[in-house]
Amino acid sequence: MSLKFKNKLCTGCHLCELVCSAYHFDEFAPTRARIRVSNHPLEGQSEVMACFSCPDAPCIAACPQDAISRTDPRQPLFIDPQKCDGCGGDPACVKRCVTGAIVYEYADAGARAKRERLAVRAGEETPEE
């Protein structure tokens, strides 16, 4: 599925983030979306940022853990959660992403505990970190 957008028509509603996360991860979790909306209320505008699978992909080269990969030059990126250590809270890939599509969400102990409680309630195995 390909999502097309025009920045000049963006209202900043974030629905594209919800659709993207639902399609790729089967959950409505905008932080997991492969597309980002940046709102600028003082300027009265919003813009959409997405990973365009840059041919040279500076984010791949920047990763010291070799956690980012893809099968072909124009294919979507895959970030291996087993390899990614977040660069100690200051990910190199985020700084090198030319479109601003890669973001880092710090998962502290509270967030992990909440996810584990929800997994237990749903009858799933607790996700390992």
Strands (E), the chain: 35-40, 45-50, 68-69, 78-79
pLDDT value at position 3?
A: 64
Q: Which of 38, 35, 36 is nearest to 2 (CA)?
A: 35
Cα distances (angstroms) measured from residue 114 to each of 32, 88, 104, 119, 124: 17, 22, 19, 9, 14
Q: Where are the domains of the chain?
A: 1-50, 53-129
Is 53-129 CATH 3.30.70.20?
Answer: yes
Tens digit of pLDDT at every position of the chain (129 positions):
566 778 888 889 999 889 888 887 788 888 778 788 888 888 888 888 877 778 888 999 999 999 988 888 777 788 887 888 888 888 899 899 887 777 776 555 555 555 555 555 544 444 454
pLDDT value at position 77?
A: 80
Instruction: Name residue 79's beta-bridge partners.
Output: 68
